[in-house]
């Protein structure tokens, strides 16, 4: 939770680094993020540069989110 809060407050390369660390944590410990953080993360899918988009996508994949959360992203809605 603290890592994700830090990532959401950061910008640029710092955000990318923190998102990568959060992804590694999610892979080790599972999805421990709060709903508000997941909603913000899902909202970030259409923002930022390529490095940020890749980091966001990797974290979304590591969180094992329910399909109903991912289908709108896939369909672009």
This prediction has a pTM of: 0.85
Residue 14 has pLDDT above 60, yes or no: yes
**Cα gap 62→77, rounded to integer Å:** 22
Q: What is the mean pLDDT of residues 19-42?
A: 95
Which residue blocks in the chain are alpha helix, DSSP H?
2-9, 12-29, 35-43, 50-62, 67-75
Q: Work out the pLDDT band at 13, boundaries 50, 70, 90.
A: very high
Q: How much of the chain, in percent, has pLDDT values that exceed 90?
A: 65
Question: Which residues lie below 8 Å from residue 21, measured CB to CB, with a gap of 6+?
Answer: 3, 7
pLDDT on residue 1: 95
């Amino acid at each position: 939770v603290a890592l994700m809060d830090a990532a959401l407050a950061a910008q640029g390369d710092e955000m990318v680094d923190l998102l990568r660390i959060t992804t590694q944590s999610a892979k080790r410990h599972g999805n421990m993020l709060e709903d508000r953080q997941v909603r913000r993360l899902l909202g970030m899918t259409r923002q930022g540069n390529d490095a940020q988009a890749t980091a966001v996508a990797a974290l979304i994949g590591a969180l094992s989110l329910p399909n109903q959360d991912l289908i709108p992203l896939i369909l672009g809605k």
